[in-house]
């Protein structure tokens, strides 16, 4: 959530920055609510002051033996008026908060200006896409021919946009998860956490999925819980309503979870294969840092995610998302895009973002500055490292041979019992 004071005192600047994201602020509505809020605030404070003064006078009059019944009636009336004003002020503040909750984060000054993914800027590339000397297949044909990837049975069990992995392919999926967790805990200094896959609405508001993206979530009305769309939600909410010591920062968590998304608005997109499904798995990185260190942390977190692709020897590129392509809560995002021969293009496999204080303000995630002795909002970051299903697709397509086999990357062979091919 944006800082309310910024909107009140720097509305034109905020308007210009949000316009770069294609967002238009309802100035008239905001100004109207702010004017009513100010007036109601003044009247509330005046009533509080008058009530307090009358109460003090009643005490003195009573001590002097004077009749106070009329004075008590006046204070009672003031209390009724004050209560009505406080209710009105609360309603106005709720409406202002609802407006604020619907506004995305402000883009960082280094974010490229643009309005679609075509305006994203490539930062660097690693590796060279393989040139095949035979007719290559996509992951669907490879997995189906090996009888290890089954969409029909998954559809029978549940419905469309689900998959079933068998045998060595299921083990490769598990090997990827274990490899990623080992890498990030052993070499990158992250603490592994195992978190709930069901969360409450407060957690989703904290990271920015609610209220704006309710249609993308799976909701269990009977229990008032939501299935997590990403591990970012439960892991980042570890910091909700917590004040961290400076010596404990940065806090670095890694978690493997399934993720559940309704994919509202994406009907018909990437319906072939396991690129975009209702259920998938990720290994997620989350960092909680001091504000002055958050952009250095973003570079580190992105490099941590890149290391996975480098160890797997998968060609990829890093792009900086433009203002119009940023996620709702992000101030700056790098996407990692892996090369998929089956599509003959780079496809997103990770998003690494700095949210600055946007999520922390919603969650009241703070730290105590040892210099000022005061508490301040943390900066939060997260990134996939990596999306497991898409990594599996990349391995299948990049490591296929002419006979339809899939070579196993060297770094994964120990996780696969020493086998070199599927």
Q: What residues are annotated to the active site?
A: 261, 276, 348, 351, 390
Q: Is 281 annotated as belonging to a binding site?
A: no
Which phi and psi angles does 285 have, rounded to 5°? -105, 135
263 is in an annotated binding site: yes
Tokens of 184: 């990030």
Going by the DSSP 8-state scheme, the letter that residue 189 receives in this structure is -
DSSP 246: G
Residues 367, 290: Cα–Cα separation, whole Å = 8
Q: Is residue 13 a known part of a binding site?
A: no
Task: Give the Cα separation of 92 and 65 in Å (integer).
Answer: 43
296 is in an annotated binding site: no
Q: How far lies 234's CA from each of 203, 226, 228, 356, in Å?
A: 7, 11, 8, 18
Q: How far is CA 31 from the centre of its chain?
A: 30
Q: Is 193 helix (H, G, I), strand (E, B) or coil?
A: coil
Please give the Cα distance from 304 to 289 (Å, whole number): 16
Q: Is 262 labelled a binding residue?
A: yes
Quote the tokens at residue 390: 């898409």
Is 348 labelled as part of a ligand binding site? Answer: yes
State yes or no: cis peptide before 363, omega within 30 of 0. no
| 380 alpha-carbon distance from chain centroid | 9
* 111 close to 322: Cβ distance less than 8 angstroms: yes
Q: How far apart are CA 205 and CA 138, in angstroms?
A: 38
- Angle between helix 167-186 and helix 294-311 axes, rounded to 10 deg: 140
Token readout for 222 is 């009977």
Return binding residues.
230-232, 261-263, 284, 348-351, 384
Return binding residues for ATP.
261-263, 348-351
Return binding residues for L-serine.
230-232, 284, 384
């Amino acid at each position: 959530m944006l800082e309310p004071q910024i909107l009140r005192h720097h509305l034109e600047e905020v308007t210009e920055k949000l316009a770069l994201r294609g967002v238009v602020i309802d100035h008239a509505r905001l100004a109207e609510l702010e004017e009513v809020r100010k007036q109601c605030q003044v009247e509330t404070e005046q009533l509080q002051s008058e009530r307090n003064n009358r109460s003090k006078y009643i005490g003195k009059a009573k001590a002097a033996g004077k009749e106070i019944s009329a004075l008590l009636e006046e204070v009672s009336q003031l209390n009724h008026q004050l209560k009505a004003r406080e209710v009105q002020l609360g309603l106005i503040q709720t409406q202002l908060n609802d407006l604020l909750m619907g506004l995305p984060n402000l883009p960082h000054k280094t974010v490229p200006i643009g309005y679609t993914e075509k305006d994203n800027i490539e930062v660097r590339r690693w590796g060279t896409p393989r040139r095949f000397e035979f007719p290559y297949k996509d992951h669907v044909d490879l997995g189906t021919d090996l009888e290890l990837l089954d969409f029909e049975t998954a559809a029978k069990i549940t419905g469309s946009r689900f998959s079933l992995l068998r045998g060595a392919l299921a083990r490769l999926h598990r090997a990827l998860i274990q490899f990623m967790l080992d890498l990030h805990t052993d070499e990158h200094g992250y603490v592994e956490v195992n978190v709930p896959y069901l969360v409450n609405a407060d957690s989703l508001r904290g990271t920015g999925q609610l209220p704006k993206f309710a249609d993308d979530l799976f909701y269990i009305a009977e229990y008032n819980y939501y299935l997590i769309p990403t591990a970012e939600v439960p892991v980042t909410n570890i910091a909700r309503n917590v004040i961290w010591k400076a010596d404990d920062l940065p806090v670095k968590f890694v978690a493997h979870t399934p993720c559940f998304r309704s994919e509202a608005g994406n009907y018909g997109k990437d319906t072939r294969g396991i690129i975009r499904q209702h259920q998938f798995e990720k290994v997620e990185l989350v960092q909680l840092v001091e504000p002055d260190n958050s952009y250095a942390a973003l570079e580190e977190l992105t490099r941590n995610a890149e290391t996975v692709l480098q160890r797997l020897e998968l060609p990829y590129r890093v792009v900086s998302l433009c203002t119009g392509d940023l996620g709702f809560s992000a101030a700056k995002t790098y996407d990692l895009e892996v090369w998929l021969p089956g599509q003959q293009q780079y496809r997103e496999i990770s998003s690494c973002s700095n949210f600055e204080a946007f999520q922390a303000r919603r969650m009241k995630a703070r730290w105590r500055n040892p210099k000022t002795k005061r508490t301040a909002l943390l900066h939060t970051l997260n990134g996939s490292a990596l999306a497991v299903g898409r990594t599996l697709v990349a391995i299948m397509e990049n490591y296929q041979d002419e006979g339809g086999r899939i070579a196993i990357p060297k770094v994964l062979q120990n996780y696969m019992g020493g086998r070199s091919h599927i």
